[in-house]
Amino acid sequence: MSQEIGVIGSPEFTTGFRLAGVRKFADVPADEKDERLDDAVEEMLSDDDVGIVVMHDDDLEHLSRGVRQNAETSVEPVLVTLGGGTGSGGLRDQIKRAIGIDLMDED
């Protein structure tokens, strides 16, 4: 079972996670996102040690269609995006996909 959290994004985005002890990260400077982000995401998704991949929501727009689809539909590791004003519906869907049940289901 995968145990690590992986973080992909700008050095400013990954720094807080690194200070909190996250060891798997890919720094992709803002001016290189279009060239390097796809490779960083594919590498992180193929790492057997990574169970959760964290990215900024805005970075999804820089991914190619295929890589974005793979990332968004991946079950292990699961992709969690932060920021960008996704609202509770987006986070709720991410949690549901990650653990397989809807914790907020009122039925």
Residue 67, domain CATH: 3.40.50.10580
Quote the domain boundaries for residue 73: 4-99
CA dihedral 28, 16, 3, 25 (to 10 degrees): 20
Q: What's the gap between Cα 90 and its chain centre?
A: 13
Would you say residue 65 lies in a domain? Answer: yes
Would you say residue 104 lies in a domain? Answer: no
- Whole-number pLDDT of residue 3: 85
- Pick from 63, 64, 94: which is nearest to 79 by CA? 94
- Whole-number pLDDT of residue 83: 81
- Whole-number pLDDT of residue 7: 96
Would you say residue 9 lies in a domain? Answer: yes
Q: How far apart (Å, rounded) are the C-alpha atoms in residues 20 and 50?
A: 16
pLDDT beneath 50, residues of the chain: 86-88
Residue 94, phi then psi, degrees to nearest 5: -65, -45
Total count of domains within the chain: 1
- Pick from 75, 94, 77: which is nearest to 6 by CA? 77
